[in-house]
Amino acid sequence: MLGRKKSCSKGLSQRLKEDRISPLTESLLCQILNYLPTKDVVKTSILSTRWRSLWLSVPRLELDSRDFSDFNAFVSFCDRYFDSNRVLCINKLKLTIGDNEEDGFYLKSWIDAAAKRKLQHLNVHFLPQFHKIPLNLYKCETLVYLSLVKVTLAKGRIVSFPCMKTMHLEDNVYPNEATFKKLISCCPVLEDLTVIIYGKDTKSFPVHSRSLKRLTLVRISSFHSGAISGVVINAPLLCALSINDNTSKSFIVNNMGSSAKLDLSILFGLWDFDEASLTSRRSSIHRFLPGISKVKELMIRTRTFKDSDPNSKKMCFNENDLISNSLVPECLLSSLEFVDIKSSILVSVAGMKVSDSNKALWIKKLKLTIDESVDNGASYLKSWIDAAAKRKLQHLIVHSLPHFYKTPENLYECETLVYLQLFEVALNDAKFVSFPCMKTMHLEDNVYPNEATFKKLISCCPVLEDLTVIIYGKDTKSFPVHSRSLKRLTLVRVSSFHSGAISGVVINAPRLCSLRIKDNVSKSFIVKNIGSNAKLDLSILFGLWYFDEASVRSRRSSIHRFLPGILSVREMTIHPRTFMVYTYLICQSRVLGHVSITIHILLCLVPAHVPILGINTATSPA
């Protein structure tokens, strides 16, 4: 055994001394260097004569002028780089240019040089000035991706971007509306467009594209200088549209398909939300609606509009908005399937009731996020869950922060639920639970009145397949899992308080095929009836806080009771500290005998340290 160790050590030492880099070809070395930051790539030039100019062949250059001693040094470096005959190809060029007194004249020769070398990705970010971008940019025909931030664009007579697929335009200065329009329309294969406008720019930014698939438009101003003329979007292939705009007074969307997804936060240029102000935008809203009448999924802010289209299936509320019947469109209530309530919601109980005329409403998914600014949040939960349960609710997500709002008892009788996620809520004592359709349950950092409630919550789900239970802090209750249908179980129990080990975990799930346990507090684990095809991922300490011989020995019986339940599995992942306990006890007792288990140890281990017990072991990086 000692000779084997010395032989392995000698072989490892020889391999470490062996130069495996030099035999590689220059093209392969450049591919490797392409994944490193440019400043690290340049540093390789001091390695040897061969490496001195190798970095010039890397087809990517990312530079920040602030990394240089002064701006002149930055310009000088770039001039030498782009003049070099060694630079044959530039796929990606990213320039972040800090505060300087120049006007961007230096960019012209750089972009010319890059364009001749088939430039595909260009990022230019000026900060904080808005320097001019040269006209030759408009003729860079190989560009696939363009990102311009805080630049001043020149008037372009000819724009040609035949390969452009993605464009990101943020906080730029445009000489006129025609320049922006031409920039978009001269990209025949453009698919992704992001336009972000801040401040007092009053120009219109029409988007006309026959190829565009995804559009994000952000127009935000903190200045109340009057509403800006409208936004016009004509993109028949558009499948995702996101608008966040507090200044434009009108929106027109033409030719939008039925499969498109919309995310809208638009105020139609309103700064006040009194009745007179809202009435003044009625015609603008009515012109906007026909363009989105075919979409199936719509996420909006409650202040966005009072009327909406009858075909929308999904709605998202957020911000500090008052929800009432008047703000939930009657035409939406007839077909709405997904309601997502985010952030601080100020709600009137009357407003939460869905009118009798909409009893046919089918709400598939309800997501509630409620924080401490909501008074009497528990009553709102009850009214919403009551209304949703009557309308065949399938997915329910409730997150109360930081208070643990009590979930109403009517939750336990929501028989159409397929998915349930509860986060930081306090559950009521469960007298009757019925979840005949429940397949997935995620329970995180909740407060349970007793162990019986948790046990009943699981056992009353006859088709449950996925269960995640996460427990933080000082909760000392036991959380037994008994399920005949469960296939995947994740149990996380973590505490930073050394308050003594907690009583054991008992798992009885004969159909379990995946079990993951991360637990630093429970002192014992019993797994019953687990199948041979199951996969285990274990990070368990058996309640140990110290790993001296006496402490580890005190858990011998707990570990011996745990092992028989997992002997039938064929694949197991063990985390480092679990492996420490395993190494000490298992090597002594040889409980496993010659069982064939593939154990992945998430630790860089010397092979000689792995106990040889007839077990197949494989190490994986942590």
| Choice between 529 and 278, residue whose per-residue pLDDT is larger | 529
Same domain, 585 and 506: yes
Per-residue confidence (pLDDT) for residue 374, from 0 to 100: 54
Q: Using pLDDT thresholds of 50, 70 and 90, give the confidence band for residue 595.
A: very low
* Domain membership flag for residue 594: no
CA dist 425 to 281, 369, 376, 400, 474, Å?
41, 11, 14, 6, 16
* Domain membership flag for residue 608: no
Same domain, 504 and 553: yes
| Phi, psi values for residue 52, rounded to 5° | -55, -40
Amino acid residing at 207: V
Same domain, 490 and 433: no
Q: What share of the chain has pLDDT > 70, as a percent?
A: 71
The per-residue pLDDT for range 49-84, each reduced to its tens digit, is 777 777 777 778 888 888 888 888 888 888 888 877
**C-alpha dihedral, 264 to 267 to 269 to 273, nearest 10°:** 180
| Phi, psi values for residue 14, rounded to 5° | -65, -40
Q: Name the burial class of residue 190, with classes exposed (0-12), middle (13-18) and buried (19+) by CB atoms within 10 angstroms of its CB.
A: buried
- For 443-466, letters b (16+ CB in 10 Å) and e give bbbbebeeeebbbbbbebbeebbb
Range list of H helices, 460-602: 549-553, 556-562, 576-589
Q: What gap in Å lies between CA 393 and CA 383, rounded to an integer? A: 14
> Which of 398, 417, 450 is the last residue before a domain boundary?
450
Same domain, 513 and 551: yes
CA dist 249 to 282, 287, 526, Å?
11, 11, 64
The per-residue pLDDT for range 333-381, each reduced to its tens digit, is 444 455 555 443 333 333 334 434 444 445 677 777 776 655 555 666 6
Answer yes or no: is pLDDT of 457 > 80.
yes
Q: Running DSSP on this structure, what letter comes out for residue 96?
A: E
- Tell me which residue has tokens 């002192």: 523
Same domain, 470 and 446: no
* Domain membership flag for residue 66: no
Region 273-298: what's the mean pLDDT? 69
Answer yes or no: is pLDDT of 470 > 90.
yes
Which residues are 245's β-sheet partners? 219, 266
SS3 of residue 140 by DSSP: coil
Q: Using pLDDT thresholds of 50, 70 and 90, give the confidence band for residue 308.
A: very low
| Choice between 81 and 163, residue whose per-residue pLDDT is larger | 163
CB of 343 closer than 8 Å to CB of 302 = no
Q: Is the peptide bond before 402 cis (omega within 30 degrees of 0)?
A: yes
Region 101-112: what's the mean pLDDT? 76
Region 246-272: what's the mean pLDDT? 78
Residue 336 token pair = 């709405």
| Choice between 598 and 455, residue whose per-residue pLDDT is larger | 455
Answer yes or no: is pLDDT of 530 > 70.
yes
Q: Which of 69-83, 87-101, 143-157, 223-237 has the lowest mean pLDDT?
A: 223-237
| Choice between 305 and 49, residue whose per-residue pLDDT is larger | 49
Answer yes or no: is pLDDT of 327 > 90.
no
Angle, in degrees to the nearest 10, between helices 71-83 and 106-116: 30
Which helix (H) or strand (E) segment is 506 a member of?
strand 505-508
**How many CB atoms are closer than 10 A to CB 485?**
15
Region 96-111: what's the mean pLDDT? 77
Same domain, 583 and 514: yes
CB of 469 closer than 8 Å to CB of 443 = yes
Same domain, 419 and 474: no
* Domain membership flag for residue 326: no
Q: Using pLDDT thresholds of 50, 70 and 90, give the confidence band for residue 275.
A: low
Per-residue confidence (pLDDT) for residue 321, from 0 to 100: 40
* Domain membership flag for residue 504: yes
Same domain, 445 and 484: no
Answer yes or no: is pLDDT of 185 > 70.
yes
* Domain membership flag for residue 566: yes
Q: Using pLDDT thresholds of 50, 70 and 90, give the confidence band for residue 499.
A: low
Task: State the Cα angle at 568 between 562 and 572, rounded to 5°.
Answer: 75
Same domain, 474 and 576: yes
| Phi, psi values for residue 605, rounded to 5° | -115, 145
Q: Which of 364-378, 390-404, 465-479 has the lowest mean pLDDT?
A: 364-378
Same domain, 543 and 475: yes
For residue 510, give every residue at least 6 positions away whose Cβ sits within 8 Å of its Cβ, in sequence order, or none. 484, 528, 529, 530, 531
The per-residue pLDDT for range 429-440, each reduced to its tens digit, is 888 889 999 999
Q: Using pLDDT thresholds of 50, 70 and 90, give the confidence band for residue 306.
A: very low
> Which of 450, 478, 510 is the last residue before a domain boundary?
450
- Strands (E) across 280-353 are located at 297-300, 314-317, 322-323, 338-341, 346-347
Region 128-137: what's the mean pLDDT? 80
Same domain, 523 and 441: no
Q: Using pLDDT thresholds of 50, 70 and 90, give the confidence band for residue 467.
A: very high
Per-residue confidence (pLDDT) for residue 461, from 0 to 100: 94
Q: What gap in Å lies between CA 98 and CA 67, rounded to an integer? A: 10
- Tell me which residue has tokens 């000819």: 158
Residue 620 token pair = 């994986």
CB of 500 closer than 8 Å to CB of 475 = no
Tell me which residue of 431, 427, 485, 478 sits closest to 458, measured CA to CA: 485
Same domain, 410 and 519: no
Region 472-495: what's the mean pLDDT? 88
The total number of structural domains in the chain stands at: 2
* Domain membership flag for residue 240: no
* Domain membership flag for residue 417: yes
> Which of 427, 450, 473 is the last residue before a domain boundary?
450
| Choice between 14 and 463, residue whose per-residue pLDDT is larger | 463
Per-residue confidence (pLDDT) for residue 271, from 0 to 100: 64
Answer yes or no: is pLDDT of 187 > 90.
yes
Tell me which residue of 167, 130, 170, 134 sits closest to 152, measured CA to CA: 130
Q: Name the burial class of residue 89, with classes exposed (0-12), middle (13-18) and buried (19+) by CB atoms within 10 angstroms of its CB.
A: middle
* Average predicted confidence (pLDDT) for the chain: 75
Residue 41 token pair = 């790539």
Residue-range definition of the domain harbouring residue 433: 341-352+363-450
